[in-house]
Chain A
Amino acid sequence: MPDNAPILAVRGFSVAFGANRAVNDVSFDINPGEIVGLTGDSGSGKSTLGLGLLGLVRAPGRILGGSIAIEGTDLLRLPEAERRARRGRQIGLIVQNPRGSLSPLHTVGQQIRSVLRAHLTITRPQAKLRSVDLLRQLGLNDPERRAQAYPHEISGGMAQRVLIAMAMGAGPRVLIADEPTSGLDVTIQAQFLDELSKVSRQAGSAVLLLTQDLGIIANYCDRVLVMEDGRLVAEDRTAHFFAAPQDRYSRRLLSLAQLSPPPPPKTAETLLAVHGLSKAFLLRGSGKRLQAVDRVDLAIGRGETLGLVGESGSGKTTVGRCLLRLIEPDSGKVMFEGRDLARTPLATLRQLRRRLQIVFQDPLDALDPRWTVGRIVSEALERPSVGRIAELLQLVGLDPSTASLRARGLSAGAQQRVSIARAIAADPALIVLDEPTSALTPLARVGIVTLLRSLQREFGMSYLFISHDLNTVEQLSHRVAVMYLGQVVEVGTREQVFNAPLHPYSRALLAAHLAPDTTDRRIDRAPGAALAGEIPSPVDLPVGCYLASRCPNVQEPCRTTPQDLQYLPDGRAVRCAPAAAL
């Protein structure tokens, strides 16, 4: 076989669920050593295609036809036993939800070993050594112990590495990775993708990377395939794709990146000022205290959007809920329109609350399943009327007839619009947006971001936009605050934080950020500013700076002296004495 022949050649491949064609007549090639991205909205058939390339399909689907040639042999024409021998040996799969892909009642080591023994003629002890070896190569410390862990005892990032070990253990030439980083934090995601591309380069395997995240595609892939309604609608080299997308779907997704930053607020008046906000939770059983929010200071101006970013467990959601007293803060002040909300009696607060509204992450959970959309929106109105409800629904881009429907029948994007309509119905001065776009498809996300921007332009309310998605934060925020382990480590304007972060943690976070932009691809550069080690447990925090154990520029006083937020002349604030001194 000539060297330049495709390692994977798919022709006319189709999968059907009932009468519905989830994958419809798909053809493409992947060459040896290539990393090819496959993108498309939820429901476009990516996952079904990914699984189908191994000759598998979830019940009750059926493979209708086509051919999948791996190194020249059509998988679909082989008997089942032969196909099985090739799965894991010639073509490997990594999926999202890594923990769900491991049997909860078997150790991680057992599961890696059973793959090795299915494909390689090796003894039990050899398989054991080999599996520990694989885990070590993937950067797990103490791999012997990890191999004896059950899936519920390891983190999502680790489980994802176990999946790589299973998928790559028998050395397949083609690897299908289906949303391998969904659910992982930004820094872990980047590390993981670095490892994935390194491992596949070393093994000379080709990778088909299925993802909705254009940032991942821009930074790691050589070519891009776009799927819509089960069909391939575009195929292009990555650089060219981002410069001039050919298909409607990609153009719409990439349109956000071309948006100008939101116009600055009209006044410089401060609407909300938070001082020294703290909240600890008592852990049941152990009686330990988890410091979720630790002396947080924030200020939001009238008409301004403050982006609050941080990884899972950083306390950003708790901050949002403390502002609304959905969680009672332990200490600190929340000054809003001349009143300290943290000390206002609940009865008075009830009157005030309408000025502060919230939109939640899970759009379905935020709407009472027994109520119609009209009733949900009118819950926020002092004097409900059909006309006002229709007006509000139109404001958020919904047809007034939606009022008679129940939430379950709407798409996630439409559900989130109903939540937004309910929030603005109360005529708030500030809306806390708690990851409002995280549960949405990329296309729906574009719609919500656009809507939030236009509502702010029209009504001039302020947003506290809480998110782990730096792309969305960049599109919405005037100023950005970065949180790490319950503390705000840096606050500044969008340009300051995104272009020249000061705090070592912000620097690491932004270095791991994958922008949908091909000018400075991560795969082509040496990974910089990465943080070593693991996040300290919020139950057992260090004495000095919380980042000291992982910081690349750590100095001796950092380990013993707690850091305070220091305000700099250019208006930003940073919780790092060495960085502030520069």
Chain B
Amino acid sequence: MLAFVGRRLLTAAIQLVALALIVFFAIRLLPADPVARLAGQDASRESYLSSQHALGLDRPVMVQFGAYIGVLPGSSGLLEGDFGRSWVTGDPISQEIRRTLPITLELITISFVLAFVISVPLGMICALRPGGIADRMTFGYSLFAGSQPEFWWGLLFIFFFFSVLGWAPPPLGRLNPMVTPPPVVTGFITIDSLLAGDGEALWDGLHHLMLPVATKVFVLSGPIVKMVRQNMTRVMTSDYVLYQQASGISPGRIALTALKNALAPTLTLLGILYGYILGGAVLIETVFSLGGIGQYAVSAVLAFDYPAIQAVVLVIAAISLFVYLALDVAHAMLDPRLQG
């Protein structure tokens, strides 16, 4: 088991290093001119050159690279865990990421857990009568939900639940501006407000999460329901479930056996999906102005803020790899066949 985890960690680390290299060089190969963008299109030659110098872009690429990973004397870089400073605001990027990342992770994780919790009973209902009405309807639903533009559904939800019904708060952020945010401990508003015992912030935070989470759960439930339904049906029609029935084992015990067998393989797939959804969170954040890492990424990209772009890609890739790894290891712990 340890060897298994070690091997996976090593592969992930190598991948991250390669990723860091590729990101750095790839964006410099693309035909974009960040200096012109930052100094303004009609900047004089002097101001262009001084901007270029200020950003360190007049140095040879390999020197820039050295600064990026932190092997140049006097500068800290990736090796020290320092992402550098934003070219636009001059603020340390790590600080920005620490502020925006928890917002995204909170949204995605809550949505993931909810979508999974919904999909399990749905999958079980399908497996009871494969090909029955419930099964076919669930299948159609998962096909539909899995192919929807989430940003549009977010807008629709806003229209109905905010504009028409007035149940939801305006889609303008994570908290009502009138509510004092709880002191930052983890960055997750739900957890921080619980830690601070701040009922008002907790309630307002959840209220603001309602629509984005609903949208995300709807879209996410497509692939998750499809996957759970498939596994559940496979297990419930398997020879071992039949054999347990033939051995006179109680339905409750059989259900436990079946659940373990059906859910174990979904873990790895959930891990892949998590990374995919994390990278795509920008859409829902934009619709609800949540200010998560996705929106930070958009602003960095549109401003040609290279250090911020590099940092965002690496952070998201690292978290995706880590979540995938953790769920894959959990899967291997449940399934002895994978530990070889």
Contact = CB atoms under 8 A, between A and B. Distances in A.
A114 B255 CA distance: 13
Interface stretch (B237-245, B267-275, B316-324): B237-245
B337 A104 contact: yes
A105 B243 contact: no
A101 B249 CA distance: 14
B248 interface: yes
Given A93-B243, A95-B239, A104-B335, A85 B249 contact: no
B136 interface: no
A300 to B, nearest CB: 41
A87 B245 contact: yes
Interface stretch (A56-64, A486-494, A496-504): A56-64
Given A89-B248, A106-B257, 10 more contacts: A51-B246, A59-B129, A60-B130, A87-B246, A100-B240, A103-B244, A103-B261, A118-B247, A118-B249, A119-B248
Interface in A154-192: 163, 166-167, 170
Interface of B: 129-131, 237-240, 242-250, 253, 257, 260-261, 264, 334-337
Contacts, number: 85
A207 B274 CA distance: 53
Interface string A85-114: 111110011010100111111100000001
A483 interface: no
Given A100-B239, A105-B334, A56 B248 contact: no
B242 A58 contact: yes
A51 B239 CA distance: 12
Nearest to A101: B243
A150 B257 contact: no
Given A87-B247, A89-B248, A119-B248, A103 B257 contact: yes
B333 to A, nearest CB: 10
7 contacts: A51-B246, A89-B248, A95-B243, A103-B244, A105-B334, A115-B247, A152-B336
- The prevalent SS among residues of B at the interface is helix
Contacts of B253: 114, 118
Given A59-B129, A106-B257, A88 B243 contact: no
Nearest to A100: B239
Contacts of A119: 248
Given A100-B238, A105-B335, A60 B131 contact: yes
B240 A103 contact: yes
Given A105-B260, A105-B336, A84 B250 contact: yes
Nearest to B335: A105
Given A56-B242, A101-B240, A152-B336, A88 B131 contact: no
Nearest to A166: B247
Contacts of B129: 59-60
B248 A88 contact: yes
A35 interface: no
B265 to A, nearest CB: 10
B242 A85 contact: no
A102 B41 CA distance: 70
A59 B336 contact: no
A93 B243 CA distance: 8
B268 to A, nearest CB: 14
A89 B246 CA distance: 10
B242 A51 contact: yes
Contacts of A59: 129-130, 237
A60 B236 CA distance: 12
Nearest to A87: B248
B248 A118 contact: yes
A54 interface: yes
A93 to B, nearest CB: 4
